[in-house]
A and B are shown apart, each in its own frame.
Chain A
Amino acid sequence: MSLPKPVMRGLLGKRLRFHIPLAFAFALVAGGLIKYGVTEPRKRAYAEFYKNYDGVKEFNHMREAGVFQSVRPSGE
């Protein structure tokens, strides 16, 4: 029963050399996914929305619908 002597040293170093680059890679990938999956579409959506946004028109529509307390619809 002559088994080879098991590795006794450098176990933490080996684990760190494997896991730390992996953690870095995962973090970068996660950051990239969020940037290009969430923030860029959101920025584009807001740009699109405000490109042809007419605040006064929206205000008048809201006023006619009767949601404001300071200005009632123009009929009343």
Chain B
Amino acid sequence: MLATAALRLLGRRAISTAVCVRGGHVAKVDHYALPVYFDKRESPLPDIRYVQDLSSEQKSLKEKEKGSWATLSDEEKIALYRISFKQSFAEMNEGSAQWKSIAAGMFLFFGLTGLVVLWQRKYVYGPVPYTFDQEYKEKELQRMLDMRINPVQGISSNWDYENKQWKK
């Protein structure tokens, strides 16, 4: 009496796992602990059949399956296959058009990010250093040529030192 009163306080769910009034009991198995059906190319045989509750004609078909398979017609073989499996390998492996949506989303976000970056460039960042001025860059290049930077295949190799101009 006292036990059942205590159980009512705990709630309905606890009853099955709590102490039983009399005799032994089987612990209730939550549905996520049972084997599930899945279509996967890597493991071809799932733990359970696809159709668990067979209709009467499916049951009779299963009985017929116990005999010689030569007596089964093609439709019956396909029906047996569809009882055990949801999708064939061809069906589960076929591609989809999802990549188009994904690419579209990617480009959309690239574009939005580009707009954000442009706005940032205009309204957030300060001016660039003086080393980017045209005049400064010209003096920099002249100094590089004077120092003979990369004279074999690089920048100084393209400068004609006799005539003070770029090689043709």
User: Of all chain B residues, which has the CB nearest A66?
Assistant: B146
- Which one of B74, B146, B153, B157 contacts A62 once the chains associate, using CB atoms below 8 Å? B146
B162 to chain A, nearest CB (A): 11
Q: Say whether A36 faces chain B, with CB atoms less than 8 Å apart.
A: no
Q: How large is the interface on A (under 10, 10 to 19, 20 to 34, 35 or more residues)?
A: 10 to 19
A62 CA to B148 CA, complexed, in Å:
8
If A62-B148, A67-B143 touch, does A45 touch B153 (CB 8 Å cutoff)?
Answer: yes
A42 CA to B152 CA, complexed, in Å:
9
Contact assessment for A49 and B143 in the assembled complex, using a CB-CB cutoff below 8 Å: no
User: Of all chain B residues, which has the CB nearest A63?
Assistant: B146
If A1-B74, A61-B161 touch, does A45 touch B147 (CB 8 Å cutoff)?
Answer: no
- Chain B contact residue count (CB 8 A cutoff): 10
CB-defined contacts of A45 to chain B, threshold 8 Å: 152-153, 157
Which residues of B (92-130) have their CB < 8 Å from a CB of A?
A: none
A45 CA to B161 CA, complexed, in Å:
18
Contact assessment for A67 and B152 in the assembled complex, using a CB-CB cutoff below 8 Å: no
Scan B128-146; emit 1 where CB is below 8 A from any A CB, else 0: 0000000000000001001
Pull 17 A–B residue pairs with CB atoms less than 8 Å apart, ordered by A: A1-B74, A42-B153, A45-B152, A45-B157, A46-B152, A49-B152, A49-B157, A58-B148, A61-B161, A62-B146, A62-B148, A65-B146, A65-B147, A66-B146, A67-B143, A67-B146, A67-B147
Interface residues of B (CB under 8 A from A): 74, 143, 146-148, 151-153, 157, 161
Ordered nearest first, which 9 A-B pairs have the shortest CB separation? A65-B146, A49-B152, A67-B147, A67-B146, A45-B153, A46-B152, A45-B152, A1-B74, A62-B146
